Amino acid sequence: MKKIGIINSELSRLISELGHTDTIVIADSGLPIPPGVKRIDLALRRGVPGYLQTLETILEEMQVERYTVADEMKNKNPELFEQSKQMLDGAEADSVNHEQFKVLTRQAKAVIRTGECSAYANVILHAGVTF
């Protein structure tokens, strides 16, 4: 049995297989997941696990050089936006409108669906390198 880190086998495998600039999405429970993109569904019930809890866990193992959020997150969910920004400190930030965000999810290696039920609680993480 794995002793530390992410114990969800799909998540652990996903992160270990990422290369530089590959993307993954942490999504709220309502974000549509494009056909053909791997879905890792963590949602157990409304709010569990939450977006921030999931982001924090993934950041323990994933090197992120850039992230993308929807412009709407800044206005419709400013507290979550600020918390995300703090957690991703040091990574380059980018934002696009929500429709363009959904188009970008088509290129992701996977979408991780959480139980989050607040507006625009989604982020695209772009993998960096540790050297």
Residue 46 lies in a domain: yes
Q: How many domains is the chain partitioned into structurally?
A: 1
| CA neighbor of 11 nearest in space, from 90, 86, 109 | 109
User: What CA–CA distance (Å, rounded) separates 76 from 131?
Assistant: 37
Output the domain CATH number for residue 75. Answer: 3.40.1650.10
User: What CA–CA distance (Å, rounded) separates 74 from 76?
Assistant: 6
Residue 6 lies in a domain: no
Residue 61 lies in a domain: yes
Q: The pTM is what?
A: 0.96
- Rounded average pLDDT over 43-55: 97
Residue corresponding to tokens 């002793």: 3
Residue 7 lies in a domain: no
Domain residue limits at 49: 12-127
Residue 2 lies in a domain: no
Q: Give catalytic residues, as residue numbers.
A: 20
126 belongs to an annotated ligand binding site:
no
User: Using one digit for the tens of pLDDT, what is the confidence trace for 83-110?
Assistant: 999 999 999 999 999 999 999 999 999 9
Residue 4 lies in a domain: no
Residue 3 lies in a domain: no
User: Using one digit for the tens of pLDDT, what is the confidence trace for 3-48?
Assistant: 889 999 999 999 999 999 999 999 999 999 999 999 999 999 999 9
The token pair that represents 64 in the structure block: 């992120």
28 belongs to an annotated ligand binding site:
yes
121 belongs to an annotated ligand binding site:
yes
Residue 54 lies in a domain: yes
